[in-house]
Each structure stands twice: as C-alpha cells, then as structure tokens.
Amino acid sequence: LQSNSHCVGPGFAEENAEPEEKTIMKIAGNSYVVSPNLSDFHSCSPGWSSAFYGAECFDSEVRSYMKNLGKQKSSESQNIDAKKVELEQLLMMETKNYRKTIKFYQKLLQKERRSKGPETKSMLPKLRGQLQEMKSKVQFLELVKKYMQARQNFLSQIMYAEQWGVESCVLSTVVHNGRTHTLDVAPMDESSLLLYYSTEKHHCDPQNGIRVLQAGTPLGLMAYLYSRNAFLDGYVQQFLYTFRYFCTQEEFLQFLLDRISSTLSSASLDPSTSLTKICNRSFYILQAWIEDCYSVDFATNTDLLCTLKEFISSKVASLNGYGERLLSLLEDASAKKSGSAHQCCSRDKWEEEGEEDRKTLHSLCKKLSEDVSRKARFFFGLQKLSKGMGPIAQNQRERLYTIPSVLPKPCYNSFTEEFPVSFAKADEVGPYLLIECGAQQLCYQLTLLQQEVFHQCHPVHFLNSRALGVKDKSVAVQKAVSTETVSPKVCNLFLSKCIQDQYLLQLLRNADTISTWVAAEIVTCHTSKLQVSLLSKFLLIAKCCYEQRNFATAMQILAGLENLIVRQLPAWKILPAKVAEIMEELKAVEVFLKSDSLCLMEGERFKTLPTIPSAHVLAMHVQQLETGGFTMTNGAHKWTKLRNIAKVVSQVHAFQENPYTYTPDFKLQSYLRRRITHFKDADISALAADNSANFHQIPAEKHSRIIQDTLRRMKATFQ
C-alpha cells in the first residue's frame, strides 16, 4: 500500500480523513487512551506481504483504477462501500460475458472441425483475441477486488498502530526515554543513530525526494520501529524477522518494557504527546512480535516468556486494558503451539510403536531362522560341499542378513505370514504397492506429508543456517552432526546469547530421509524389470510434484535418483526415452530454483496455487545473502542487507497461507510412512551390494576369457 506521512495511498486521503478523525475523538474522550475495550483490539501483525512488498503491494494501474472507481463526477469522492458495489457489478457482468463467449467459441470450434468452412476459420482468430481481452479484464477486476479487500483488512489491522507513529526528529527521545524517565526530551540529531539515502521520486510525492533507511545502530534500528509509517512501509515485519543479527530477544524485550514503564503513568494526559505515542506504539510492537514470532522466540525461551508475563501482571494489567489483551494473546499462542506439538508427539509415538513392533518381529524371525539354519546346516553343508559349492554356501550364509543388518528397522518377510498384517504390512508388500498406485495419487499423498512438516517452520528458521552446520551440498545435514551441538568453528551470525530454534535441521533431515528412501527402494529391487518400473514411477511422481509446485518433494526424489549407486544401475539403459527425459527436466527445475532467491514469487501463480519450496535451496539463498559484513565502517548495521534477507524468508509465510487441499488417503500415507521409516539412515552401498540386479551381468565365457587375458598380461610383466 502506498503511503506518506499523511496518506495511505493516492486518492484515499479524502476517504480516510473522517474515520481517522472519529478515532482521535474517541480516543481523546477516553480517560485511558491506551485502554480500549478488548472488542476493539485488532491483529496488528503486518504479515509476510508487508516484509516482501513494503510500500509496493500493488502497481500504479490498479491503484489508479481503484481511485476512480465509484466516482460519478470528477469532483465527487465515493466511500469504500460504493466502490465495492460497483466493482462487484462490473466483475459479475464481465465474468458472465466471458463464460458466454467461451461457450460460443467451443461451439464454433466444433462446427469448424465438422464443416471446415472459410467463414468459421476467419471468425475463430478474432474470437480468440476477444476471449484473451475479456480474460485479461476479468483478471484485472479480480485484482482490484483483492486490492480493495487487502486495503480494508490492512487498514483495520495496521492503522490502529500507525496512528501512534512519531516523526523522525522524536526518535532520539524514544532512545533516551527508557533511561532518563523525563518528559518530552528536546529533539536531538539522529545522524548518530540512523543513516539514510535519498531518492528523487516517490509514488506519494513525485516532486520531493524521500529518505530511505540505509543503516543504524541497534538502538537506532529499534527506535525506528516508532517512526511514522513503520508498519505501513514493512519495516516492523522486516525487523521482526532479522533483529537477531544485532540484538538478542532479551535486549529487544527489555527495550520495549523500558519504554512502557517510563511512559505508562503519563500516557493518559494528552493523546498528542510523544509519551502517549511511545507507550501505545510499544504495546502494538509487542503484540505484533507475539503474534508473528511466538513459536521461535517465546516458546523456546521460558525465561523470556516469564519476564514478559511477570511485567504485564505486575505493572500493566491493573492500569491498562492492554495487559489483559496481551495475557490472552500469550495463552492463545501457547495453546496453538501445544496443539502443534501434540500432533508431532502423537506422530512420533506412532512411529516408535511401529518401530517396537518391527523390532519384536525382527528378533522373533531371526531366532526362528537361526533355529532352522542350525538344524539343517549339517545336511545342506555336506550336500553342497559334495557338489563343490562349499565356498558359495558359506558366502550365502554370511550374506543371509546383509540387507537387514544395514537397516535400522529390519523385518524378515519369509516369516510374516504367521503374524498380524499390521506389524509388517509395508515391509511385506515391498515396492509393489508403489508400482501399482498411480503417480498422481502418490504425488498428492507425498505432498500432504511434506506439507505437515513445512507448515511447522518459520521464516526465522532459515536464518544463520551456517551455525547449524548446513552446507552447500546435495545432502545438507551430515548424519554425524547432532541437533543439540554446533561446531564452535562455524560462524555464528546471531549474537552469542541469542537462542536459535533448530527446526531447520529437522526439516532438512526429513528431506534426506525421503532421498534415502527413494534410493533404497530402487536398489533393493531384485530384477532389472522391477527397477525400471520403479525408476519410471519415481520420475513421474517428481514430474507431477513440480508441476503442482511441490518443489520440495521433487528435489528430494531427484537427490535420491542422483545417488552415486543409483546412477550406475544397468536399468537406466533400458529406461524408456520419454521417461528418461524427465530426469533432464528435474535438473532444469533445480537450476531454475537455484538461479534466483525469489523465482517462486514471480507473477501471480504463487498467490493462487499452493507451493512448497525446497528447504535446502532456500537456506542456500539466505546464506548467499548473509555473505559479507553486516556492519559499516562506523559500526552501523546495514539495514538494506537485512531488508533483503527479510524479503527472501518472507516467502515461507506466503506459501503457508495457501495450503494444498487434496483428499488424504490415510492408508496410503501409513504405507509411505512405514516404508520411509523402514529405510531411514540405510546404507545404500550395502543394500546395493546384496542385489545382483544392481550389477552389469557378464557372460560366463566372456568372464573366463577376461580372467585369462589378465593373467597372461601379469605373467608377461614378470618375464
């Protein structure tokens, strides 16, 4: 949304003047200006679009159309309701005409196929052009409607906080207010706190230049949260994503609490004073922080949460209506976090129970197998030795448990008929269910499984990933690296006392597990024909995934197929050419994802279609932006660098707003979970070594001739 110090956007100053005046009158008439009723509270989290677009949410053409919508005369200004009614009528009429034209075009197309008349052929191109124009107009009106709805929602959420912004000359007062506890301090030069650069043109004031924040000290950047239009221009949301690079959560919280403490007792004297604005803006910043970052800052730091609750209960709740609101907000956020954690625990418990079942079955099967083997060893040993196959039999006995030994959750299928199917159903069926199910069906269920993991992450999780051991390679997280320990040699870009949630490691390990499962399923197939079928199925699944914008699963399957052992399988040579081409498509998609950090945010598709990005690729893009210094020579932190990082990670919340709505198939999901868990952390090379289908077969005569030639060459070297 466009904004300057007095307007929300071009042409909207007249519309917003009256509601804002009413708000001021209402506030002025209240004995406690910072204590509105709980029903008057609104969510004030600016959201991802604020961090991504800043003041450029919609282009000038949409804003200009919205400005003139609802005006009968040039001097007449209509309110938002009149604009909404006219827009609904226009959109309904254009959509109706567009659908009629489509039906007419389809009938004309069928007629042209039957009669092939010259008149029909000449009409089709013209009608096709009209359809394109009508489609563009409908899409434009829908965008205007979305702009109007976004403007209404944005104003209702943000303008309550924005009315308490202060001018830049008062920011030094914000810095010193928490220390001096004095009334309005005389304005000071802010050059020691913040650095700006000037632009020649701005959408709200084309003639005059505007100052854009370039860098600032930690105190200066925190103080800039109180500046006018900090919410509207996206600064608040960008700050909430990136402040951990220059201050800890405790320092930021203490900064806000100090401003509240020093202004709370005097805030009701006059709504126009700096103290009142500082107090009210502090509450809105604190509310936005809780709403947007509770899971990454407060849920993982009990001391921080206790400090905030104690302050609200002891100093705010008895004097101010915000206390009750903030405590309620903390309870709601905690309940939401607990509900999410309960789902994760239930899923982990289900997997642990399944693992115990498999371990019990494994031990029982192994015991039975050893008993049978011990009883028959003497007879079969003599029989095979009598035929000259003793060494082969010995080798087979040693390799009897090779595959299960490299799997963390082994199961012997030869004995499972006597046990309940629920214990080892996935292991019993093997990869055959994967081949029987359609690629699209498997794509949908894998996407829903991936969505569960992705929707639990936060943009902040992708920051400072080098400190977690994430590197630029195909397997992002080494199996030897623990989730609890971080190597002291790596560069930690956050402050040393800043607590960092390590959910990104869990997200990347999940991706690594999927890749391992794909590779393991292929190398354990006992025939080349089965391997070809499974290779084809995984390639088709990956193609369907990236077409549905599930780039995470598509890249995970690609990583499994590019495993060194898998790439050397003979089955690739007999793979159908059309299916083999999908591999090149996947590599092209990978190059596309790595080419630009914002490639998935281009156009309008990400706003209407669900998307799951590749976590590792996104983390690498953020690492690239983190390369280089964060401070200038004078010690000020580069806000332009931090703003770019916030813009890239904001797409996580953008994609989470539009989830996939596929119908879940819980039986198929259960099968997939068990197969993925079954091959978790498996040694692909050990699995492949136990399967003859993974090796190029050489005829016996040719093999004997090769050995003789080798021996002949060796003999010649010694002569």
Q: Are 111 and 234 in a shared domain?
A: no
In our burial notation (b when 16+ CB lie closer than 10 A, e otherwise), range 189-226 reads ebeebbbbeeeeebebeeeeebeebbbbbbbbbbbbbb
- Residue 272: φ, ψ to 5°: -90, -5
User: CB under 8 Å to 276, separation ≥6 — which residues?
Assistant: 33, 34, 164, 263, 266, 267, 268, 269, 270
Q: Are residues 261 and 125 in the same domain?
A: no
pLDDT at 177: 75
Residues 314 and 244 in one domain: yes
* Other beta carbons less than 10 A from residue 452's beta carbon: 13
Residue 375 in domain: no
Stretch among 31-45, 533-547, 679-693 having the lowest mean pLDDT: 31-45
Maximum CA extent, the chain: 111
pLDDT at 30: 36
Assigned domain for 524 exists = yes
Number of domains in the chain: 3
Q: Are residues 572 and 442 in the same domain?
A: yes
pLDDT of residue 139: 73
- Does residue 361 sit within a domain? no
In 548-650, which residue ranges form alpha helices assigned H by DSSP? 551-561, 564-567, 577-595, 605-608, 615-626, 639-649
* Last residue of one domain, picked from the residues 306, 337, 368: 337
Consecutive H or E run containing 513: helix 503-523
Q: Are residues 298 and 316 in the same domain?
A: yes
Torsion, Cα of 295, 297, 298, 303 (10° steps): 150
pLDDT at 457: 96
Q: Answer whether residue 398 shows pLDDT above 90.
A: no
CA dist., res. 111 & res. 483, Å (int): 66
Give a yes or no: residue 391 inside a domain.
Answer: no
Residue 260 pLDDT level (bands cut at 50, 70, 90):
very high
Distance CA 667, CA 670 (A): 5
Q: Are residues 158 and 193 part of one domain?
A: no
CB atoms within 10 A of CB 103: 9
Assess whether 433 and 567 both reside in one domain: yes
List CB contacts of 271: < 8 A, sequence separation 6 or more. Answer: 24, 27, 28, 33
| Phi (first) and psi of residue 3, to 5 degrees | -160, 150
In a domain, 46, yes or no: no
DSSP assignment letter at 187:
P
Q: How far is CA 702 from CA 323, 389, 698, 712, in A?
A: 85, 22, 7, 15
CATH of the domain at 577: 1.10.840.10
Name the band, by pLDDT with cuts 50, 70 and 90, for residue 88.
Answer: confident
Of the pLDDT bands very low, low, confident and very high (cuts 50, 70, 90), residue 666 is very high
Give the CA angle between residues 593, 595, 598 to the nearest 5°.
70
End-to-end CA distance of the chain: 88
- Residue 418 pLDDT: 34
Residues 448 and 547 in one domain: yes
Task: Work out the pLDDT band at 267, boundaries 50, 70, 90.
Answer: low
Report the share of the chain in percent with pLDDT over 90. Answer: 40
Give the amino acid at 558.
Answer: L
466 contacts 491 by C-beta, under 8 angstroms: yes
Q: What is the pLDDT of residue 176?
A: 79
Q: Which residue has the higher pLDDT, 371 or 290?
A: 290
| 139 and 192 housed in the same domain | no
> Where a domain ends, among 337, 354, 386?
337
Strand partners, 210: 199
Give, for 26, the enclosing helix (H) or strand (E).
helix 13-28
Domain containing 255 — which CATH number?
A: 1.20.870.10
Q: Could you give the CA distance from residue 401 to residue 524 in angstroms, rounded to a whole number? A: 14
- Please identify, among 319, 337, 355, the residue that sits at the C-terminal boundary of a domain: 337
Q: What is the rounded average pLDDT of the residues 257-268?
A: 84
Cα–Cα distance measured from residue 262 to residue 495, given in angstroms and rounded to the nearest whole number: 27
Kindly report which listed range (56-70, 290-304, 563-577) carries the lowest average pLDDT score.
56-70
Instruction: Write down the pLDDT at residue 592.
Output: 96
For the record, the structure tokens of 208 come out as 């005059």
Starting at the edge strand that comes first in sequence, how are the strands of the sheet with 194-199 ordered? 194-199, 210-216, 637-638
What's residue 427's pLDDT?
58
- DSSP track, 274-311: HHHHHHHHHHHHHHHHHHHHIIIIITT-HHHHHHHHHH
Domain that holds residue 123: 79-163
Residue 573 lies in a domain: yes
pLDDT tens, residue by residue, 25-76:
333 333 333 444 443 455 666 677 777 776 565 455 555 555 565 554 444 4
Give the other-Cβ count within 10 Å of 148's Cβ.
Answer: 17
Q: Please indicate, yes or no, if residue 117 is contained in any of the structural domains.
A: yes
Q: Give yes or no: residues 449 and 508 share one domain.
A: yes
Question: Quick one: 117 and 247 in the same domain?
Answer: no
Is the same domain home to 214 and 125?
A: no
Q: Please indicate, yes or no, if residue 581 is contained in any of the structural domains.
A: yes
**Contact between residue 266 and residue 275 where contact means Cβ atoms under 8 Å apart:** yes
What tokens appear for 127 in the block?
């009608």
Q: Which SS3 state, helix, strand or coil, does residue 162 take?
A: helix
Q: What is the C-alpha to C-alpha distance for residues 408 and 612, in angstroms, rounded to an integer? A: 29
CA–CA dist 54, 230 (Å, integer): 10
Please determine, for residue 140, whether its predicted confidence score (pLDDT) is greater than 70.
Answer: yes
**Own/partner pairs, 697-704, CB within 8 angstroms, 24+ separation:** 697/570
Cβ atoms of residues 147 and 66 within 8 Å:
yes
